[in-house]
Amino acid sequence: MEKSDQNQLNVHPKGITALFLTEMWERLSYYGMRALLVLYLVKSLGFTDKDAGVVYAYYTSFVYLTPVIGGYITDRYLSYRFSIYLGSILMLLGHLSLALDDLTYFYLGLCLLALGNGFFKPNISTIFGRLYQEKPNLRDSGFTIFYMGINLGGLLGPIIAGSLGEKVNWHLGFFSAGVGMFLGILVFYFGSKSLPSFVWEKESKQNSNLNHKSEKNKEPESDTLSKMVLIGLLSFFSIFFWMAFEQMGTSLNLFALRNTDRNVFGFEIPASILQSLNPLMILIFGPILSSIWIYLSRSNRNPNPILKFVISLFLLGIGFLVMVVAAKQAETGVLVSLFFLVSVYFWNTLSELCLSPVGLSFVSRMAPVRFASLLMGIWFLSTALGHYAAGILSGYQREWGSLSDFYAIFVIVSWCAALLLYGIYLWKRPSIQRLLRESAETKERIGSPIRASIES
pLDDT digits 0-9 by tens, 66-119: 988 888 888 888 888 999 999 999 999 999 999 999 999 999 999 999 999 999
Beta-ladder partners of 260: 336
Q: Which residues of the chain have pLDDT under 50?
A: 1-4, 6, 204-210, 213, 215-216, 442-456
Is 123 inside a domain boundary? yes
The CATH code of the domain that includes 273 is: 1.20.1250.20
Residue 375, domain extent: 7-202+213-454
Q: Tell me which residue of 387, 391, 445 sits closest to 117, measured CA to CA.
A: 387
- Alpha helix segments (H runs only) across 367-428: 372-394, 403-427
Is 208 inside a domain boundary? no
Q: Distance (Å, rounded) from C-alpha 173 to C-alpha 380?
A: 29
Q: Distance (Å, rounded) from C-alpha 422 to C-alpha 309?
A: 9
What integer pLDDT is reported at residue 154 of this predicted model?
93
Is 1 inside a domain boundary? no
Is 168 inside a domain boundary? yes
What integer pLDDT is reported at residue 35 of this predicted model?
93
Q: Distance (Å, rounded) from C-alpha 222 to C-alpha 209?
A: 21
Angle at 292 between CA 291 and CA 297, to 5 degrees: 100
What integer pLDDT is reported at residue 453 of this predicted model?
36
* DSSP calls for 82-147: HHHHHHHHHHHHHHHHHTSS-HHHHHHHHHHHHHHHHHHHHHHHHHHHHHTTT-GGGHHHHHHHHH
Is 321 inside a domain boundary? yes
Is 207 inside a domain boundary? no
Is 317 inside a domain boundary? yes
Q: How many separate domains does the chain show? A: 1
Give Cα 424 to chain centroid, integer Å: 26
Identify the three-state secondary structure at position 395: coil
What integer pLDDT is reported at residue 59 of this predicted model?
96
What integer pLDDT is reported at residue 205 of this predicted model?
45
Is 41 inside a domain boundary? yes
pTM of the model as a whole? 0.86
Pick left, alpha or beta for residue 13 (phi over 0 → left; psi -120 to 50 → alpha; otherwise beta): beta
